[in-house]
Amino acid sequence: MRLLLIAALIAGIGWVLYRNVQERRHAWLNRLALPGRWQGDQDGVHYRLEFSGQADGGEYLEVNEGPDGRREERGRWRVVGSNLEFETSDGGVSSCELRLFESGRIGLHGPGRQRRIYVRSGDNVVMLPRRRG
């Protein structure tokens, strides 16, 4: 009987810890609020990421416009731990570190997205490229 009580106690503690981790993850994903439009500029290139779907995954469109022209990439995204994983429509997969600086401002660091800062774009706000002078 004592063994059964100890096993139930351990299971109860495990369940409470699991729920706590899930609640924290859910709160972090809600603070990120990734679905929507994110924009930024770096080295004369204007880039835009549009996420659709749920808080932890869905589809994306990335558009980069710069001196070399315009480039588009489509695929699926998902949050894996503290990384953002991109799977392009042609099957390529890349993973970037995801950092939340403040509400509406994130950073990505990974292949093709080195040290990029993205700012959430409102529906009626258009980010203009910064002039380097």
pLDDT single digits (tens) 43-98? 888 999 999 999 889 999 999 998 889 999 999 999 998 899 999 988 889 999 99
pLDDT of residue 96: 94
CA atoms within 13 A on the CB side of 36: 18
Q: pLDDT tier at 101 (50, 70, 90 boundaries)?
A: confident
| Domains of the chain, residue spans | 1-32, 34-121
pLDDT of residue 131: 57
CA 19/CA 42 separation, integer angstroms: 40
pLDDT digit string (tens) for 111-127?
888 889 999 987 544 44
Lookup: tokens for 115:
């040290």
pLDDT of residue 91: 86
In 3D space, the residue among 106, 90, 102 whose CA is nearest the CA of residue 37 turns out to be 106
Q: pLDDT tier at 39 (50, 70, 90 boundaries)?
A: very high
CA 106/CA 79 separation, integer angstroms: 13
Alpha carbon dihedral 129, 95, 36, 103, in 10-degree steps, equals -80
Q: pLDDT tier at 16 (50, 70, 90 boundaries)?
A: confident
In 3D space, the residue among 38, 75, 83, 37 whose CA is nearest the CA of residue 56 turns out to be 83
pLDDT of residue 23: 83
pLDDT digit string (tens) for 69-81?
999 999 999 999 8
CA 95/CA 80 separation, integer angstroms: 9
Q: Which CATH architecture has domain 34-121?
A: Beta Barrel (2.40)
- Judge whether 100 and 108 are in contact, CB under 8 Å: no
pLDDT of residue 130: 55
User: What's CA 6's distance to the chain center, in Å?
Assistant: 41
